[in-house]
Structure 1
């Protein structure tokens, strides 16, 4: 009897074990998953279970790869389970896959229309969760057709041209909230399929260009290698889909759409993560940024220009860098004329416009086909796509540095004549080789030298210029320095050496600009010998005086004190940088003076001095109503965008603060003080430096602590400045407050307490503007987020300010950069001075 009982026990146990083993990847009406239980795919790579995003106590049902840090799909993304609310995943009575809360109420369902009498859910080895008929194996519902924010191999992005049914993926709202966010990615333009990125599902934000069988020809960030195994197919039922197949289960790749609208890629090999990247585009990637018949080139300034044969539709808007109105044709087409016919101008390396029409014509037939139709304005050809034609406006055209297609735009004969007979290629090559500014300087000096061959050298020196291959060489004899200097200009860069070959500092090139040079006698006369009555203020590098030249021009003279932190390098850097910049929101440098130990910079005079005088002044801040403050914020943003993206040089200011924003007579802001600015190369996004300079409280954390400088460094400073303008408080005014230590901490606390109104300057606190003011605080907090990649760039900031991006993502925790502990060692007198308006804004510390 005992023996029989033991046999029965082992048989039951074996059956239970077999049943358990068969159910590890499956959910049935009797085999459910209850938090914190999980199920895994048979290959062990994918898991379905409950998880909580970082900084959240809500519980969600999701699928992840290898670990919870790699969430691929979320079931109840819009219906979270609250903390300590036990959830269950099971098959409901109607056969749907459901998520139940503690009260057994359904908070999420697969909502399949066709339900089998006996359905089960299985997590497959591809990461796809399928609901299927247990008897026939027919798939009723699958997670691959309802993605969240991540695309993985074997998933299909699709759209049906008959029914309009689509499979697309949508970003999380933020890193702590997987609910439907602001950005979505879908397959569009099914005759020549493209991937589109949308804002709020209606506003196009970016497009990939059409698929040519190997790549999306306008998708610059992703390389051909990354799209290996990908294809676009057209099924019989009218469905067009994009998919990337993977035959190796241990070679896994993902593309995630971030809450900020960025594509984040990751790759694993044999379960080990081998790469991850975030693809940041340029401001040219924004859909239609240059309007109809405009073309964008992020390497030029301004980035937008009209296509050849076109001119700005609204010149005033165009000059303000608002290109949305686009361009119009200068001369009408001559379609139908038998005397002089239209032709085509070839534009190389182009991202082709949106709304193409494809035909099966051969390449040599494309041109004639377009000419036969008076509405055809351009054509292009790609072997993988065929003949492409455009009718109507040309939207979202971009110039690439490599790749792209040849775009042929239709032009009347009179416009074509302007392009024939000109050596455009030679001129373009020369310009790209030595730079527009350098070429202009060389030509000017050559003219000057040749026009006065017998003239005696000036007091400053004499010039001799030679052109050799792709270099412009200048010999400069300096009487003051008593040595010859040779300037080599090559590919937009300059090097100065003396006749022995010894390299001379870069600042010497400024001597080329004789028109920028002032002497001390002229400036002393203009400022009444630097009389104290003409003193406008005292900066960290020395006093600033008001002056008036003999021709009546009013000037501001920054006289660098001998004991200031700004040395020769910063002085010459400011001259080099700002002399090349022209923008209504940047202060204009009129010249400089360097004689002996005297170093002075001469600017246009700003009637209303600096911004800090207004927003922090006891009575002046009342003069700035909300309209004026918003105008100042927007102007600063546009000035920064010009520095970062639209100027010929890419410049990071590195010392943006209220005292470095000057106001003209109409209170228009102008960014000043470029002594600490850093110039970037054409493709550089960030750089490391062992010399960190700037003002504490305004420096981004990655810059202050690690010496990493990028556009996002200025974005952080801009965010602090926005909070100061809105609140009327100095960021440094909290240094002695043990609870907050900074304005950023103070605002962040009120934001989380839903009491942000308390942070707003009472003089502008008007219910009529409350929504707009709070929105600016929101934007400021987005700019001071701790992670640089989470901060918006200035193009996005301007779109946010203008409400082109309506719904703003919630801000993540800001960075809290405090004064260094070295302050504790200062005397009380020194400590007081360091917090005064005369604070020296350059701080030299080693990055670590």
Structure 2
């Protein structure tokens, strides 16, 4: 469209030969122009609206296309996920039988193990349920751990990888594992006396604890030997990462067994330390350095075992209100080390006597060494075993349980 100003300056001759040019009706009347009058189709505002409309149509089409692609991708993802779950859950058409892998001589079948009853449930935790199972063939009980689906698969793999290779009287024995699709079971030794935490706080009768000092000392020494085996006799070393009184199980003779290797870490071959991608441990037992580093070493296990020793000596829990907000048993013990009288108050008054007081104090000193705030000064587990052996007085020591008479005294 030619404006009235341009038409007045150039006249019609300046625009001849340009088809499609037009003028407004008012300009044609005033200047007597021979150019055609512009119709609505040539209106700039209308053209702009048409362009905007066209842009909206193209944008809408692109959005619809993008949404369609997303829907198709989501459906493919769900289809693949459903397919994977079906493969994991059953594979019933391909595999109708349980896969049983045994690590010790066993006298049972998969059918014996997998028919569990809720009446025989003896425990439940973050990794699964534990049942007592009385085997029909030989009548002996076993513990069957049914792992949760999902995260339980990682625990299943970790425990098998470690326990299948271990042979030690103070490490929980893994008899076999069973798997079918997404269902996983571990068949373990049955511990008739439960875990150490439970035993420490049970009473035979009112005011009389189930565990006297002789039994507690035996448990401390056995558990120390089990952890020392993991640290020093396994190649590469094994770091448990969750040593606590509930993970120390007791058989009918109160022989301790280190259990629950679901978060255990196999150290690198090049050194006795490794890095973990996830946090592990239990509040009250976690070494202070794990608050600022993911480096995993045996020293964190030693700290946790030191807390267990404090439980054995004091009869107290790792976390109690009496310690103060945000405080634990290590802090509470530290506040009583100013003089000998306060130190003696730390000993469990339900079991302490003149006969065992000195031995309890020696084990207390071992616990304090193990719970040093800095990892480097903590003793190795071999040293801990030697010190606990040395803490046994003549009244508790039998000839066969004293193979190391030349151990340097702690005091």
Q: Report the TM-score when normalising by structure 1.
A: 0.33
8 A Cα contact 1:688 1:709, kept in partner: yes
Q: Which residue of structure 2 aligns with residue 579 of structure 1?
A: 164
Separation in 2, partners of 1:733, 1:688: 31
How far 1:543 moved relative to its partner? Answer: 2.5
Q: Which residue of structure 1 aligns with residue 5 of structure 2?
A: none
Question: In the TM superposition, what whole-angstrom CA distance separates every residue of 1:303-362 from its partner, at most 9, and x where no partner exists?
Answer: xxxxxxxxxxxxxxxxxxxxxxxxxxxxxxxxxxxxxxxxxxxxxxxxxxxxxxxxxxxx
Separation in 2, partners of 1:690, 1:750: 37
Q: Give secondary structure in 2 for the equivalent of 1:718.
A: helix
Q: Give secondary structure in 2 for the equivalent of 1:590.
A: strand
Q: Which residue of structure 2 aligns with residue 766 of structure 1?
A: 353
Partner residue of 2:124 out of 538, 546, 558: 538
Given the alignment of the two structures, is residue 555 of structure 1 paired with residue 142 of structure 2, yes or no? yes
Q: Which residue of structure 2 aligns with residue 681 of structure 1?
A: 268
Q: 1:733 to 1:798 in 2, by over 3 A?
A: same
Q: Give secondary structure in 2 for the equivalent of 1:555.
A: strand
8 A Cα contact 2:100 2:179, kept in partner: no
Separation in 2, partners of 1:572, 1:625: 38
Q: Which residue of structure 2 aligns with residue 792 of structure 1?
A: 379
Q: Give secondary structure in 1 for the equivalent of 2:209.
A: helix
> Counterparts in 2 of 1:367-516, with a 5 A limit?
513=101
Q: Which residue of structure 1 aligns with residue 21 of structure 2?
A: none
How far 1:768 moved relative to its partner? Answer: 1.4
Separation in 2, partners of 1:740, 1:732: 9
How far 1:704 moved relative to its partner? Answer: 3.7
Partner residue of 2:331 out of 705, 722, 745: 745
8 A Cα contact 2:103 2:174, kept in partner: no
8 A Cα contact 2:274 2:296, kept in partner: yes
8 A Cα contact 1:570 1:675, kept in partner: yes
Given the alignment of the two structures, is residue 714 of structure 1 paired with residue 301 of structure 2, yes or no? yes
> Counterparts in 2 of 1:131-530, with a 5 A limit?
513=101, 521-525=111-115, 529-530=116-117
Q: Which residue of structure 2 aligns with residue 700 of structure 1?
A: 287
Q: Which residue of structure 2 aligns with residue 594 of structure 1?
A: 179
Separation in 2, partners of 1:739, 1:568: 37
How far 1:595 moved relative to its partner? Answer: 2.1
Separation in 1, partners of 2:100, 2:237: 22
Separation in 1, partners of 2:111, 2:410: 57
Separation in 2, partners of 1:515, 1:631: 28
**Rg comparison, structure with higher value:** 2
Q: 1:548 to 1:791 in 2, by over 3 A?
A: same
How far 1:697 moved relative to its partner? Answer: 1.4
Q: Which residue of structure 1 aligns with residue 43 of structure 2?
A: none
Separation in 2, partners of 1:725, 1:807: 19
Separation in 2, partners of 1:616, 1:512: 38
8 A Cα contact 2:319 2:328, kept in partner: yes
Q: 1:775 to 1:542 in 2, by over 3 A?
A: same
Separation in 1, partners of 2:357, 2:350: 12
Q: 1:481 to 1:592 in 2, by over 3 A?
A: farther
Separation in 2, partners of 1:797, 1:610: 22
Given the alignment of the two structures, is residue 807 of structure 1 paired with residue 410 of structure 2, yes or no? yes
How far 1:554 moved relative to its partner? Answer: 1.5
Q: Give secondary structure in 1 for the equivalent of 2:376.
A: helix
How far 1:649 moved relative to its partner? Answer: 3.9
How far 1:616 moved relative to its partner? Answer: 2.2
Q: Give secondary structure in 2 for the equivalent of 1:574.
A: helix
Q: Which residue of structure 2 aligns with residue 460 of structure 1?
A: none
Partner residue of 2:248 out of 632, 653, 661: 661
Q: 1:806 to 1:593 in 2, by over 3 A?
A: same
Separation in 2, partners of 1:689, 1:576: 17
How far 1:613 moved relative to its partner? Answer: 1.1
Q: 1:705 to 1:535 in 2, by over 3 A?
A: same
Separation in 1, partners of 2:409, 2:226: 23
Question: In the TM superposition, what whole-angstrom CA distance separates every residue of 1:767-788 from its partner, at most 9, and x where no partner exists?
Answer: 1111110111111010010111
Separation in 1, partners of 2:135, 2:225: 31
Separation in 1, partners of 2:229, 2:309: 18
- Unaligned residue ranges in structure 1 (runs of 5+): 1-478, 484-510, 809-848
8 A Cα contact 2:130 2:145, kept in partner: yes
Higher RCO (CA 8 Å, separation ≥ 6 residues) = 2
Question: In the TM superposition, what whole-angstrom CA distance separates every residue of 1:581-629 from its partner, at most 9, and x where no partner exists?
Answer: 0001011001122223322211011121111111023558712111111
Separation in 1, partners of 2:160, 2:339: 47
How far 1:481 moved relative to its partner? Answer: 10
Q: 1:753 to 1:602 in 2, by over 3 A?
A: same
Q: Give secondary structure in 1 for the equivalent of 2:306.
A: helix
Question: In the TM superposition, what whole-angstrom CA distance separates every residue of 1:97-136 from its partner, at most 9, and x where no partner exists?
Answer: xxxxxxxxxxxxxxxxxxxxxxxxxxxxxxxxxxxxxxxx
8 A Cα contact 1:663 1:670, kept in partner: yes
> Counterparts in 2 of 1:84-95, with a 5 A limit?
none
8 A Cα contact 2:323 2:331, kept in partner: no
8 A Cα contact 1:593 1:601, kept in partner: yes
- In angstroms, what is the RMSD of aligned CA positions? 2.7
Separation in 1, partners of 2:215, 2:362: 16
Question: In the TM superposition, what whole-angstrom CA distance separates every residue of 1:16-53 from its partner, at most 9, and x where no partner exists?
Answer: xxxxxxxxxxxxxxxxxxxxxxxxxxxxxxxxxxxxxx
Separation in 2, partners of 1:618, 1:729: 14
Q: Which residue of structure 2 aligns with residue 782 of structure 1?
A: 369
How far 1:677 moved relative to its partner? Answer: 0.8
Q: Which structure has the highest strand share of the two? A: 1
Separation in 1, partners of 2:129, 2:217: 30
Q: Which residue of structure 2 aligns with residue 170 of structure 1?
A: none
Question: In the TM superposition, what whole-angstrom CA distance separates every residue of 1:434-474 from its partner, at most 9, and x where no partner exists?
Answer: xxxxxxxxxxxxxxxxxxxxxxxxxxxxxxxxxxxxxxxxx
Separation in 1, partners of 2:93, 2:270: 37
Separation in 2, partners of 1:771, 1:740: 31
How far 1:522 moved relative to its partner? Answer: 2.2
Q: Which structure has the highest helix share of the two? A: 2
Q: 1:617 to 1:538 in 2, by over 3 A?
A: farther
